[in-house]
Structure 1
Amino acid sequence: MQKLEKYNFKNKALALLSLLLVLFFSSCEDVVTLDLKNGETKIVVDAEIIWLKGTTGNEQTIKISKTAPYYNNTTPKVSGAQVRVENRDGDVFTFTETEPGSYVCTNFVPVIDMDYTLFVTAEGQSFTAVEKLTSVTPIDRVEQEIVPDFGGEDVIELTFYYKDPVDEVNFYLTDYKSDFLIFPEYELTKDELYNGNEINNRFSDEDKIQPGTVVDITNRGISKNFYNYMNLLLEIYDGNPFSIPPGNIRGNIVNTTDSNNYAFGYFRLCEADKVSYVVK
Structure 2
Amino acid sequence: MNKLIKNRVMNRALALISLLFAFSFTSCEDVVNLDLETGETKLVIDAEIIWKKGTSGNEQTIKISKTAPYYNNSTPKVSGAQVRVENSNGDVFTFNETETGVYKCTNFVPVIDMEYKLFITAEGQSYTATEKLTSATPINKIEQKIVPDFGGEDVIELTFYYNDPVDQKNFYVTDYQSDFLIYPEYEITDDEFYNGNEISTRYSHEDDIKPGSIVKITHRGVSKNFFNYWKLILEASNSNPFSVPPGSIKGNILNTSDSGNYAFGYFRLCEADERSYVVQ
TM-score category of the 2 structures, normalised to the smaller one: over 0.9
User: Which consecutive unaligned segments of at least 5 residues does structure 1 have?
Assistant: none
- Give the TM-score, by structure 2 length: 0.96
Matched, 1:251 2:232: no
8 Å contact 2:177–2:215 — kept in the other structure? Answer: yes
Offset of 1:167 from its aligned partner? 2.2
**Which residue number in structure 2 is paired with residue 143 of structure 1?**
143
Within-5 A mapping of 1:261-276: 261-276=261-276
Match in the other structure for 2:7: 6
Question: Structure 2: how far apart are the matches of 1:136 and 1:43?
Answer: 30
Contact kept in structure 2, 1:12 and 1:239, CA below 8 Å: no
Q: Tell which deviates more after alignment, 233-242 or 13-22.
A: 13-22
1:235, CA displacement in angstroms?
Answer: 1.2
Cα distance in 2, alignment partners of residues 134 and 111 from structure 1: 9
Q: Is 1:84 matched with 2:98?
A: no
- The residue aligned with 1:63 is 63
> Is the contact made by 2:113 and 2:133 (CA closer than 8 Å) also made in structure 1?
yes
Q: Trace 1:31-180 onto structure 2 (pairs within 5 A).
A: 31-180=31-180
Aligned-partner residue type, residue 249 of structure 2: I
Compute the displacement of 1:18 (Å).
6.0
Could you say which residue in structure 2 is the equivalent of 1:16?
17
Measured at CA, do residues 271 and 206 of structure 1 come closer, stay the same or move farther in structure 2, by a change above 3 Å? same
**Distance in 1, Cα, partners of 2:25 & 2:156:** 34
Superposed displacement of residue 51, structure 1: 0.2
Taking the aligned partners of 1:15 and 1:197, their CA distance within structure 2 comes to: 39
1: distance between equivalents of 2:63 and 2:19?
33
Offset of 1:10 from its aligned partner? 1.8
TM norm structure 1 = 0.96
Q: Are the counterparts in 1 of residues 3 and 202 from structure 2 also a CA contact under 8 Å?
A: no
Say which is worse superposed, 238-247 or 158-167, in terms of deviation: 238-247
> How far apart, in 2, do the equivalents of 1:43 and 1:21 lie?
29
Q: Could you tell me which amino acid in structure 2 is paired with residue 272 of structure 1?
A: A
Change (3 A) 1:243 1:11: farther
Q: Is the 8 A contact 1:11 1:238 kept in 2?
A: no
Aligned equivalents of 2:155 and 2:32: distance in 1? 38
- Three-state SS of the structure 2 residue aligned to 1:145 is strand
The structural deviation recorded for 1:224 is 0.5
Amino acid corresponding to residue 63 of structure 1 in structure 2 = K
1:146-205 CA-to-partner distances (Å, cap 9, x unmatched) read 000011000000000101100211000000000010111000001111101111111111
Q: Report sequence identity in percent.
A: 70
Rounded to whole Å, the distance in 1 between the matches of 2:78 and 2:22 is 36
Q: Which amino acid in structure 1 is aligned with residue 274 of structure 2?
A: K
| Contact 2:51–2:110 (8 Å) recurs in 1 | yes
Give distance in 2, aligned partners of 1:21 and 1:257. 42
Deviations 1:225-272 (A, max 9, x none): 001110111112112221222200000000000101111100000000
In angstroms, what is the RMSD of aligned CA positions?
1.4
1: CA distance, partners of 2:25 / 2:40: 31
The amino acid that maps onto 2:21 is: L
